[in-house]
Amino acid sequence: MADPLPHIAQPAAMIAPQNTALIVIDVQVDFASAKGVIGRHGVDMSPAEAAIDRIEALIAAARQAGTTVGFMRVMTRPETDSKALKMWMARRGTPGSEGICRIGSGGEDYYRVRPEPGDIEVSKLAYSSFHGTDFEHQLRARGIDTLVVTGLTTDCCVDSTTRDAFHRDFHTFVVSDACASFDPGLHTHTLNALSQHTSLLVTTDAVVDAWRNGDDVADAPEKRAVA
């Protein structure tokens, strides 16, 4: 069956380890674990678990290749919830739903993955990892101009971060099978929209293969073959 998404088959020359960061967005208890806020409401967490399996493989490949790894996570308190967020929740009939990833609750903790010394780490309040943070400064300080984006959820924080990165002149690649939404349709539609407007789509296998063969990247011609 034909791939419904326009993946880049050979991204190696475009994601060279020395100027690329693997970005892991919001892989936290409240977003990914059956014991978190979302899971406790009976939501099927298997798409998140499958994406995290692949994120683990990508992190291992990035560390082996010397690619920078960045971990984003939501960290909130009641007083940090924006007026716009609270009003939006109230108007849609879900007041109080903004209380997620509360500091001290355990829901803000990383789930299955965590940073190591030398990684980028960003705490955020909003969907975009750039909003109100020093994320861009950390990337620029390391000479990074390319982001390989993974995490949760495709239609929310992955989408917002990726679009914001594009607006700040970063080259963006989204790993389609290392992201997840709680609605499969939203996952696919968001990926298609990103591929139309800001980003190139890649698979975990393609990225892992590229970084495993990193010695050949510097001399390789830029390849944009679409599967």
Cite the active site residues. 26, 124, 157
Rounded Cα gap, residues 90 and 96, in angstroms: 8
Tokens of 17: 């380890």
Backbone angles phi and psi of 93, in degrees to 5: 85, 20
Sequence-ordered strand ranges (E) for the chain:
20-25, 68-74, 120-124, 146-152, 171-180, 200-202
CB atoms < 10 A from the CB of 44, how many?
A: 11
145: CB partners within 8 A, 6+ apart: 19, 139, 169, 170, 171
